[in-house]
Amino acid sequence: MKIAIIGAGNVGASIASLLISKQMCDEIALIDINQNLANAKAIDLSQMSIALGLDIMVVGGDDYQILSDFDIVIITAGVARKDGQSRAELAKINANIVAQASSQIAKFAPNSTIIVVTNPLDIMVYVAFKASGFNRKKIIGMAGELDSARLKFALKNHLGTSVTDSKSCVIGMHNDNMICLVDENLSIDEYENIRSQTINGGAKIVKLMNTSAFYAPAAGVINICQALINKDSKVLSCSVLDDNLIAFSRLVKISKDGVKEILELNLKLKDREILDKSIEEFIIYIKNFNINGANINFS
Ligand code: APR
C-alpha cells in the first residue's frame, strides 16, 4: 500500500506520522511546493520509522512523478484563511491549488482514490472531481469525521461520560450550517450549546495558537484510509458527491474502490431546511467555477 500526501504542512505531516505509527502502508510520498520542507519531513519521518523498528519508506519532493502507482493520494495543500479574507477569496486561491494537484494526480496515479482536506472542503471536493476527471466515488472529503469528533468532545465534557460508543455525528456542509445529529438526551438549550461548541471548535484552536488544528484532522483522514485499505467497515461521515454532483458530509460506507454506499438520512424538518439552504448556496457557488483540468476560470 502506497499513500501520498500533497502538502507537507501540519496536517500532512501529522497524517504521515499516524500512518507510520499505525503501520498502515509500505511507502509514503510527501509532495509540497516547498521542496525543502517536503524533503526535510520525509527524512525526519523515515528516521521515525527506523526508530520504531519499522521499514516504511518516506520520500519527499515537489515533483508529482513520485506518485506513480500510488493507491491513495491525500490533498492538504492550500493556504489558511487570513484575517478579513472572505471564504470566496480563499476558495479561489485554494481551488487553483487543488485543481493543479488533482490534474497531476490523474496523470501520475490514475487508479488512486483522492482524499481532500483543503478548505472550503465541500467546494474543494467538487474541484478535485472536476479537475481529476475521476469517478465521483473515488473522491472523498474529510470534514464530517473531524466535526463529529468535535461534537463528541463537547458531549463528553458536558455529560462527563465516555463517548467512544456514541452514535452522535455531524453531517452537512463543513461551515456554520453543519448539522449535529445528537443521539444523547439533551434539552433544547443543551443541544444549542453543544452545537455552537462544535461549530466553533476549529476557531477556538485558531484563536489559541494562531494556526488551525492538525492532529484531529489527521485522525479523520486515518479513519478514511483504514476503510479504503479494508481494515475497518465502520460507517463514516465523509463529504462525497451525489448524482447531482453536490458534495457535503453524509454517512457512507467505504471499501477499497472508494464510496460503496451513501446511507439514507432521515432528517428532522429543521435540519432538512438547513441542508437545503446549504445545497442552494453550493450550487450558486460552483457556478462561478469553470474547471478544465488544472485550469479554472472564475466568472
Ligand atoms: N502545491 C503543493 N503544496 C502547496 C501548494 C501547492 N500549490 N500551495 C501550498 N502548499 C503547501 C504549503 O507549502 C504548506 O506546506 O501546503 C502546505 C499547507 O500546510 P500548512 O500551511 O501547515 O496548513 P495545514 O495546517 O497543514 O492545513 C492544510 O487543511 O485545514 C485545511 O484548508 C486548510 O489549507 C489548510 C489545509
The string of pLDDT tens digits covering residues 37-67 is 999 999 999 999 999 999 999 999 999 999 9
What single-letter DSSP state applies at residue 172? B
Q: What is the average per-residue pLDDT within 209-232?
A: 93
Determine whether 174 is an active site residue: yes
76 with 123, same domain: the answer is yes
Mean pLDDT over each residue of the chain, to the nearest integer: 95
Which of 220, 233, 214, 252 shows the shortest CA–CA distance to 147?
220
- For 5-23, write each residue's pLDDT tens digit: 999 999 999 999 999 999 9
The answer for 171, left when phi > 0, alpha when psi is -120 to 50, beta otherwise, is: beta
97 lines ligand 1 (CB under 6 A): yes
Instruction: Please name the residue whose Cα sits nearest to atom 29 of ligand 1.
Output: 118
**Cβ neighbours around 197 below 10 Å, total:** 18
**Full-model pTM:** 0.98
* Cβ 37 under 6 angstroms from ligand 1: yes
pLDDT at 90 over 90: no
Is 246's pLDDT higher than 90?
A: yes
User: Are 162 and 197 in the same domain?
Assistant: yes
Q: Which domain holds residue 22?
A: 2-142
With a pLDDT cut of 90, the percent of the chain lying above it is 89
Residues 58 and 71 reside in one and the same domain: yes
153 and 138 in one domain?
Answer: no
Q: What digits encode the pLDDT tens for the residues 168-211?
A: 999 999 999 999 999 999 999 999 999 999 999 999 999 999 89
What per-residue confidence (pLDDT) applies to 78? Answer: 97
Q: Where does a domain end: 92, 108, 142?
A: 142
Q: Which position among 174, 259, 289, 296 bears the catalytic label?
A: 174
Using most ligand atoms within 8 A of CB, pick from 212, 221, 239 the residue to mutate for ligand 1: 212
Q: Is the residue at 299 inside a domain? A: no
Q: Is 76 in the pocket of ligand 1 (CB under 6 A)?
A: yes
CA neighbor of 252 nearest in space, from 129, 145, 121, 153: 145
CATH number at residue 204: 3.90.110.10
Domain membership of residue 221 (yes or no) is no
Distance from the Cα of residue 195 to its chain's centroid = 20
53 dihedral zone (left: phi>0; alpha: psi -120 to 50; beta): left
Retrieve residue 251's grid coordinates.
454517512
3-state secondary structure of 224: helix
Q: Among 87, 120, 142, where does a domain finish?
A: 142
8 A C-beta contact, residue 30 and residue 41: yes
